[in-house]
Structure 1
Amino acid sequence: MPNRKYDHTPGFGQLYARTVRATLRRADYEPDADGLTLELPRTAIDQDHLTAYREVTGFNAGPALPVTYPHVLAFPLHLDLMSDPSFPYKPMGIVHLSNVITQLQPIPIHAEPAIKVHSTAERPHPKGTVFDVISEVSVDGEVVWTDLTTLLSRSSGTPTATVDLLPDPSVEPTAWWDLRGNLGRRYAAASGDRNPIHLFKLTAQAFGFPRQIAHGMWAKAASLASIQRGTKLPDAYTVRVDFRKPLLLPSRVQFGSKSSGRKTDFALYDEKHELTHLIGQLEHI
């Protein structure tokens, strides 16, 4: 498997330029069958950036990183992977279906973690082809956090393909959130994810949305921050979310969660409880 190491995090300007070129390119190349692994042996955590991330997602300050924050640290490598000529799909237009994070132990805010990113083999889906981007974060040589991001490249698909989905939970709303139209831009500034579907009405309409939509990983982070404010989360757990209907901005949404034993189910609905935007499940390890 080819391996590429960096001395520092790739810059977003160059990455987004590559992403645009990769989206416009013709698919007449042969991707590397073994895939590509990207490594960042050391990354320093910018404390001001971390504070901005906490503010937009709702996580309280503390000695450990929010469980979703390493995804932000790994995101430049995600972009680098998907804009590389060896990547078999055009990056713009890829749909984020689900995300699974496993935290084996909290990551101190002053740690200097190592990050490794690679993708898995493709598999059929009723709406096209899906694949996973896997991220691993290590501290002092020990893997402490992993992330599995499942993405869909749309095509004619395979109608008989099976789809792994979380069951719809039975949760009553415990909070109502009023989301402003600039939420996507605020989260983009904190995360680096400046996909145009999240920024402005006009840029979202260019991709078929009536107006801008919230980032899926913002919705996951805000959900976990809400749960954390109500109860102490364990040091080690796995949390999965499935992204259902796009969350248009601005909007008012319902959030609900329910714990039973070592599991917590949660969900994010529209104001009328007619559309499901996100379904999640947290399980202690």
Structure 2
Amino acid sequence: MLWHTLPRSPALPPLYWRAALKRKITGTTLPTSGLHCRVQVNPEAVAAYRKVCGFAESPMLPATYPHILAFGLQLQLLTAREFPFPLLGLVHLSNRIRVFRPMGGVSDVRVSVHTRNLQPHAKGATFDLITTVEDSLGLLWEGESRMLCRGVKLDGEAPEQSLPAPNTVNELTRWQAPSDIGRRYARVSGDYNPIHLSALTAKLFGFPQAIAHGLWNKARTMAALHEHLPSANIELYVEFKKPVRLPGEVILLAGAPGSSGELQLKGSGDIEHMLGKWQPIA
């Protein structure tokens, strides 16, 4: 892996423009290089994120917050000329995070991003976007987002990968996903994907109404599960199913508190939005 070090997290507006202009698949090989840079944690930005995602005040960073620290680097990586797939239209299938140590007192970190594991899929091809966060003591946090690019032709069989429906979960809580949550999440995350912002912009991409961001669904779920979960040595994995249309109500079902368990996010009419599990890091 060849690493390029950036002096700071990239500015987002030029990257949005680059993403908007690239609409074609230009290859079937992932880049062999990654990006990293040092990032400062801004307490005011963390507080705004907590408010949007429902996290209580705490000296610990929310387990999902490193996604926000990495977003500029991820956008630069996925809009680079050598990256073969257009960013607009990628589908986030699943997300895994690992919290190795308690994330208290985190202020200055090194964030790294790269891609790997290109595989055939029934609808195209998938790859993993890997993000790591290191502090002065070493690896603190790792994230793995599986992304689908439709229309890519790869040789080979598509591997079957899906969580079974949980059978030991009960309703824990429910909440409203308001019509403006996509815009509010965009302001704290930097992710202004049109499918999340309004019905008008979502319709341009084939959605009848705006849908909630998958990582907001996961963050809101982690906030609701706060009392259930250990603060470190934990792996949290979710698969995104049917999108949450805005506005809408979602219901969180979960197993008993402990070092491992299962979760399910459902909507009206028993629609399944997200499946997940947590467990100690192997």
TM-score (norm 1): 0.92
| Corresponding residue of 1:212 | 210
- Count of matched residue pairs: 279
Secondary structure of the residue aligned to 2:256 is strand
Summarize the Cα distance change of 1:232–1:241 in structure 2 as closer, same or farther, 3 Å threshold: closer
| Corresponding residue of 2:241 | 244
Percent identity over the alignment?
34
Structure 2: how far apart are the matches of 1:90 and 1:34? 14
Contact 1:36 1:118 in 2 (8 A): yes
> Is 2:156 the counterpart of 1:148?
no
Runs of 4+ in 1 over 4 A off after TM superposition: 30-34, 156-160
| Corresponding residue of 1:11 | 11
Structure 2: how far apart are the matches of 1:33 and 1:149? 15
Q: Map of 1:81-92 to 2, 5 A cutoff?
A: 81-92=77-88
Secondary structure of the residue aligned to 1:174 is strand
Counterpart code for 1:13: P
Summarize the Cα distance change of 1:80–1:34 in structure 2 as closer, same or farther, 3 Å threshold: closer
Structure 1: how far apart are the matches of 2:106 and 2:174? 34
Contact 1:234 1:284 in 2 (8 A): no
Contact 2:120 2:126 in 1 (8 A): yes
Contact 2:230 2:258 in 1 (8 A): no
Structure 2: how far apart are the matches of 1:31 and 1:160? 16
Q: Map of 1:14-93 to 2, 5 A cutoff?
A: 14-23=14-23, 26-27=24-25, 34-40=31-37, 42-93=38-89
Q: Which runs of 5+ in 1 are unaligned?
A: none
Which of 252, 275, 280 is matched with 1:279 structurally? 275
Structure 1: how far apart are the matches of 2:231 and 2:65? 16
Deviations 1:119-154 (A, max 9, x none): 003100111100001011000150111000100001
Contact 2:31 2:115 in 1 (8 A): no
Q: Which has the higher mean CA deviation after the structures are superposed, 2-11 or 192-201?
A: 2-11
TM-score (norm 2): 0.93
Structure 1: how far apart are the matches of 2:208 and 2:31? 39
Structure 1 residue 284: Cα displacement: 2.2
